[in-house]
Amino acid sequence: MGRDAIRKPKLLVTRKLPGPVEERIRANYRAALNGADTVYSSNELAQRAAGMDAALICATERFDADLISRLPQTLRILATFSVGYDHIDVAAATARGIAVTNTPDVLSDATADVAMLLLLGAARGAGWGERMVREQTWKAWSPTAPLGVEVTGKRLGIVGMGRIGQATARRARGFAMTIHYHNRTRLEAALEQGAVFHAALQDMLPHCDFLSIHCASTDATRGLIDARAVAALPDSAIVVNTARGDIVDDDALIEALQSGKLAAAGLDVFAGEPDIDPRYRALDNAFLLPHLGSATAETRIAMGMRALDNLDMYFAGRRPGDILNDVADFQKAGP
Ligand code: DGY
């Protein structure tokens, strides 16, 4: 083995990644790739991490406190190929001195595109309309049925006005929508662009013909859109979620879709996905996608490159741009 190979860090890559990303991995790391793209169990992850310096992981793996306690001492950084990091117990990683990074920014536009796709698809019946064509239940054009909901000029409430929320607002303004938002902190006027800030979610909800969820899944936001929140929305409102499924209380949302309190929902993310609450499948007014928010070739390559930038910086003894926890002295992480 040449000197170069010896110095290259050992990297566990938990899922198959886009070609250019894997090429860069092969060039710079001694990598254990996952050509079969199997979703590893916690036990497999613990075994495969043996002797590794780093792991490039995805939102499909739960790095909880138990798994983190079973990672080898050699493993110093977890770089997740995602902006969300609710699948990682960051406090447990910090306690073990393991750095954690994510991939913000690069997926904001792709995810906001899917938020608009869901908003339009839910409002205009893209799901049931497509099923009618495929299942040959479309008998004739009709002036009165089935009908969707007009989007243009309506009020959109955004929960979580970070990068993706702001990108969604920009798109929605193209449909002449009025933007309301609820965020931990109010944005400066240049970013707000006339959007109406609501310090309390419950105060914003009555102003939302559409509600789009863009906050992270945390202890504070899990179950945030519950029966009380749904009740505060105007009748026939539409809920869109491209963030994380567990921010919504499935019972509350499903009951509101069944009763007609809500006109429709557009969902890209689900609690327990891909094993979603089966009641969603039976709802004609639910427009459902399989977590496609960041799923374009360009964005997935950019996410991989961003994760590798973080790993490269770490192993060069520098603070990664997207570090999520304060772990010791980066100089010591160097080669
Ligand atoms: C993200 O980056 O968080 C996407 O939802 C993929 O997990």
For the stretch 86-121, pLDDT in tens is 999 999 999 999 999 999 999 999 999 999 999 999
Q: How confident is the model at residue 334 (pLDDT cuts 50, 70, 90)?
A: low
Catalytic residue, candidates 22, 192, 255, 273: 273
Number of H helices, E strands in the chain: 13, 12
Q: Tell me, what's the pLDDT at 241?
A: 99
pLDDT band (50, 70, 90) for residue 7: confident
277 pLDDT higher than 70: yes
| Pairwise CA distance, residues 170 & 104, whole Å | 18
State pLDDT tens for residues 163-185: 999 999 999 999 999 999 999 99
Confidence of residue 332 (pLDDT cuts 50, 70, 90): low
Which numbered atom of ligand 1 lies nearest the CA of 242?
5
198 flagged as catalytic: no
Dist CA 236 CA 170 (whole Å): 24
Pairing of strands 178-182, 196-198: parallel
Helix (H, G, I), strand (E, B) or coil at 179: strand
The band of 331, judged by pLDDT with boundaries at 50, 70 and 90, is low
Burial profile 192-207: b = 16 or more Cβ within 10 angstroms, e = fewer = beebeebeebeebbeb
Q: Is 88 in the pocket of ligand 1 (CB under 6 A)?
A: no
How much is the pLDDT for 256? 99
Atom from ligand 1 closest to the CA of residue 85: 3
Say how many Å lie between the CA of residue 295 and the centre of ligand 1: 9
Instruction: Answer yes or no: is the C-beta of 82 below 6 A from any ligand 1 atom.
Output: yes
Spatial separation of the C-alpha atoms in residues 267 and 249, rounded to whole Å = 13
pLDDT value at 295 more than 80: yes
Nearest CA to ligand 1 atom 1: 82
- What is the Å distance from ligand 1's center to 83 Cα? 5
The tokens 């499924």 sit on which residue? 245
Mean pLDDT of the chain: 96
pLDDT tens sequence across 183-241: 999 999 999 999 999 999 999 999 999 999 999 999 999 999 999 999 999 999 999 99
Question: What is the average pLDDT across 271-299?
Answer: 98
Q: Whose CA is nearest to atom 4 of ligand 1?
A: 82
pLDDT, greater one: 276 or 3: 276
76: left (phi > 0), else alpha (psi -120 to 50), else beta?
alpha
Cβ 116 vs Cβ 152: under 8 Å:
no
Tokens linked to 280? 């969603």
The model's confidence at residue 2, banded by pLDDT at 50, 70 and 90, is low
> What burial class does residue 111 get, using C-beta atoms within 10 Å of its C-beta: 0-12 exposed, 13-18 middle, 19+ buried?
buried
Query: How many residues are recorded in the chain?
Result: 335
Best mutation site among 58, 81, 83, 289 for ligand 1 pocket (most ligand atoms within 8 Å of CB): 83
* Structure confidence at residue 83 (pLDDT): 98
In short, whether 215's Cβ falls inside 6 Å of ligand 1 is no
**Ligand 1 pocket member 164 (CB < 6 A):** no
With a 6 A CB cut-off, is 107 part of the ligand 1 pocket? yes
- Catalytic, 188? Answer no
What strands lie across the sheet with 77-80, from one edge to the other? 30-32, 10-13, 54-57, 77-80, 99-101
- Local structure of residue 41 (DSSP, 8 states): -
Cβ pair 173, 196 in contact under 8 A: no
Q: Is residue 244 flagged as an active site residue?
A: yes
Q: Give the count of alpha carbons within 13 A of 242, CB side only.
A: 28
Q: Domains in the chain, ordered, with CATH?
A: 10-106+296-331 (3.40.50.720), 108-288 (3.40.50.720)
List of residues 6+ apart from 112 with CB closer than 8 A: 164, 167, 168, 170, 171
Helix or strand run (H / E) with residue 80: strand 77-80
Question: Looking at this protein, which amino acid is placed at residue 187?
Answer: L
Residue located nearest, by CA, to atom 3 of ligand 1: 84
> What is the pTM assigned to this prediction?
0.96
For ligand 1, atom 2, the nearest C-alpha belongs to 82
Measuring from atom 6 of ligand 1, which residue has the nearest CA? 82
Q: Residue 69: CB partners within 8 Å, gap ≥ 6?
A: 92, 96
Cα of 59 to ligand 1 centre, how many Å? 6
Q: State how far the alpha carbon of 117 is from the alpha carbons of 30, 215, 285, in Å.
A: 40, 18, 15
Sequence-distant (≥ 6) Cβ neighbours of residue 59 within 8 angstroms: 80, 81, 82, 84, 87
Ligand 1 atom at minimum distance from 82 CA? 2
Return the pLDDT at 326. 85
